[in-house]
Chains A and B, each alone.
Chain A
Amino acid sequence: MSEPPQPPPVGPPEAPIAIAAGDGRGEPATPTGAEPGRARSLWSDAWHDLRRNPVFVISALLICFLVLISIWPSLIATESPLRCQLSRSLEGASAGHWFGFDTQGCDVYTRTVYGARASIAVGVCATLGVALVGTVIGGLAGFFGGFWDALLSRVTDMFFGIPLILGAIVFLSMIKLSGIWPVVLVIAALSWPQIARIARGAVITAKQNDYVQAARALGASHARILLRHILPNAIAPVIVMATIMLGTFIALEATLSYLGVGLRPPTVSWGVDISAASTGMQFRNAPHILLYPAAALSLTVLAFIMLGDAVRDALDPKLR
Chain B
Amino acid sequence: MLLEVQDLHVEFTSRDGLVNAVNGVSYAVDAGQTLAVLGESGSGKSVTAQAIMGILDSPPGRISKGKILFRGEDLLTMGREARRRIRGEKMAMIFQDALSSLNPVLPVGYQLGEMFRVHRGASRKESKAAAIELMERVRIPAARERVGDYPHQFSGGMRQRIMIAMALALEPDLIIADEPTTALDVTVQAQVMDLLSELQQEYRMGLILITHDLGVVADAADVIAVMYAGKIVEHAPVDALYKRPAHPYTKGLLESIPRLDRKGQDLYAIKGLPPNLARIPPGCSFHPRCPIARDRCAVDVPPLYEVAPDRSSACHYWKETIGD
Contacts and interface: CB of A to CB of B under 8 A. Distances in A.
A34 B279 CA distance: 9
A268 to B, nearest CB: 46
Interface of A: 1-16, 18-24, 27, 32-34
Given A2-B182, A13-B21, A16-B41, A7 B276 contact: no
A133 B100 CA distance: 37
Given A12-B21, A14-B21, A1 B213 contact: yes
Interface residues of B, number: 40
A20 B271 contact: no
A32 B279 contact: yes
A4 B64 CA distance: 31
A6 B178 CA distance: 11
The majority secondary structure among interface residues of chain B is loop
Contacts of A8: 46, 50, 95-97, 100-101, 178
Interface of B: 12-14, 16, 19, 21, 41-44, 46-47, 50, 57, 60-61, 95-97, 100-101, 178-179, 182-183, 212-215, 269, 271-279, 288
A169 B185 CA distance: 60
B182 A24 contact: no
Given A20-B273, A34-B16, A14 B41 contact: yes
A15 B43 contact: no
Given A6-B97, A15-B14, 8 more contacts: A1-B212, A1-B214, A1-B215, A8-B95, A12-B61, A16-B273, A21-B273, A27-B271
Contact of A23 (B13, B271, B277): B271
Contact of A11 (B42, B57, B277, B288): B57
B232 to A, nearest CB: 16
Contacts of A2: 182-183, 212-213
25 contacts: A1-B213, A2-B212, A5-B96, A5-B183, A12-B61, A13-B12, A14-B21, A14-B41, A14-B42, A14-B46, A14-B277, A15-B12, A15-B16, A15-B277, A16-B41, A16-B273, A16-B276, A16-B277, A18-B276, A20-B273, A22-B272, A23-B271, A24-B269, A24-B271, A32-B279
A19 B276 contact: yes
Nearest 8 A/B pairs, CB to CB: A5-B183, A24-B271, A12-B12, A12-B14, A14-B42, A20-B276, A7-B100, A14-B41
B73 to A, nearest CB: 26
A23 B272 contact: yes
Contacts of B273: 16, 18, 20-23
A27 B13 CA distance: 32
B300 to A, nearest CB: 20
Contacts of B288: 22
A13 B44 CA distance: 8
B205 to A, nearest CB: 21
Contacts of A18: 273, 276
Contacts of A7: 97, 100
Nearest to A5: B183
Contact of A14 (B43, B97, B183, B272): B43
Contact of B14 (A1, A6, A11): A11
A2 B183 CA distance: 8
Contacts of B274: 16
Given A1-B213, A3-B41, A7-B100, A13 B272 contact: no
A62 to B, nearest CB: 27
B97 to A, nearest CB: 5
A20 B278 CA distance: 10
Contacts of A32: 279
B97 A5 contact: yes
Contacts of A23: 271-273
A13 B96 contact: no
Contact of A10 (B21, B57, B269): B57
Contacts of A15: 12, 14, 16, 19, 21, 42, 276-278
B21 A11 contact: no
Contacts of A34: 16, 279
Nearest to A49: B15
A11 B269 CA distance: 31
Nearest to B10: A13
B37 to A, nearest CB: 13
A13 B14 contact: no
Contacts of A16: 41-42, 273-277
A12 B273 CA distance: 19
A2 B269 CA distance: 17
Nearest to B189: A2
A32 B214 CA distance: 30
Given A5-B182, A5-B183, A6-B96, A12 B272 contact: no
A263 B212 CA distance: 66
Contacts of A24: 269, 271-272
Contacts of A6: 96-97
A12 B276 contact: no
A10 B58 CA distance: 10
Contacts of B96: 5-6, 8
A13 B95 CA distance: 15
Nearest to A19: B276
A180 B288 CA distance: 67
B182 A3 contact: yes
Contacts of A11: 12, 14, 57, 60
B271 A22 contact: yes
A20 B229 CA distance: 13
Contacts of A22: 271-273, 288
Contact of A12 (B60, B95, B178, B279): B60
Given A5-B183, A6-B96, A32-B279, A13 B215 contact: no
